Amino acid sequence: MSAAALSMREQHAYDAARFAELVATAAPEDWARPSPVAAWTALDVVSHLVGWPRDFLRASADLELAPLDVAADPVAAWKTHTADVQGLFDDPAGRMISNPHMGDKPLDVALSEIYTPDIWMHSWDLSRALGHDYDLGAERAAAMLAGAAAMEDAMRASGQFGPRVEVPADATPQEQLLGFIGRDPYWAP
């Protein structure tokens, strides 16, 4: 099924479940492994995906979610976090976010625009940190690259993306996207 055929809540559930599969494969010693994100370990990837959305929800939607100790149990923390966020997709209840970068918009729309793609992209990071390949999907990678290229200046100015990594002219859409966001698509631990 193509990503375009999924609703916002279905896409989040799908991406979060794929990430959960990766988290579940990690042995305790794997959490200290380096990731393709400079200075991040495998555990840092999970901590990022649990921490920033909870902070974002508190600051932008006045939603307080219980703190989670990712380091103590990454699998349990991811499971709880995913259930919390999926609950917001499943029952948005007219919740809104108000954020200086995004303006005012429905909470589920905001999460779908910024958080779900973050899970999707960081799935590659965690997979590579664990020594596995990960297919982001050519169609979705090409669509994301087209959208990102249109706002490259703002993305680079945010400081959240590294400098572009050059890839060969015949690189796949996934390799092009990874290079665009500052990842070496051929990175290995």
pLDDT tens for 76-123 read 999 999 999 999 999 999 999 998 888 999 999 999 999 999 999 999
* CA quadruple 26, 178, 108, 126: dihedral, nearest 10: 10
Residue 189's pLDDT is 87
pLDDT score recorded for residue 3: 53
- Residue 92 and residue 141: Cα distance in Å, rounded? 27
What pTM does this model have? 0.93
pLDDT value at residue 140: 96
Q: Where in the chain are all domains bearing CATH 1.20.120? A: 9-134
What is the overall mean pLDDT for the chain?
93
**What is the model's pLDDT at position 113?**
92
Whether the per-residue pLDDT at 134 is higher than 70: the answer is yes
Of 109, 112, 39, 27, nearest in space to 74 by CA: 27
pLDDT at 149: 78
- 169-184 tens-digit pLDDT: 999 999 999 999 999 9
Kindly indicate whether the domain formed by 9-134 is annotated with CATH number 3.40.50.
no
**Residue 52 reports pLDDT greater than 90:** yes
Q: How far apart are CA 152 and CA 101, in angstroms?
A: 15
Question: For every residue of 75-96, which 3-state class applies, written as one string?
Answer: HHHHHHHHHHHHHHHHCCCCCE
pLDDT (average), residues 3-7: 78
- Average of pLDDT values for 146-153? 80
- pLDDT number for residue 178: 96
Look at residue 5 and tell me whether its pLDDT is greater than 70. yes
Where b means 16+ CB within 10 Å and e means fewer, 138-154 reads: eebbbbbbeebeeeeee
pLDDT for the residue numbered 1: 47
Q: Residues 28-54: what's their mean pLDDT?
A: 97
- Residue 156: per-residue pLDDT: 66
Angle between helix 8-25 and helix 107-129 axes, rounded to 10 deg: 30
Work out the average pLDDT over 59-67. 94
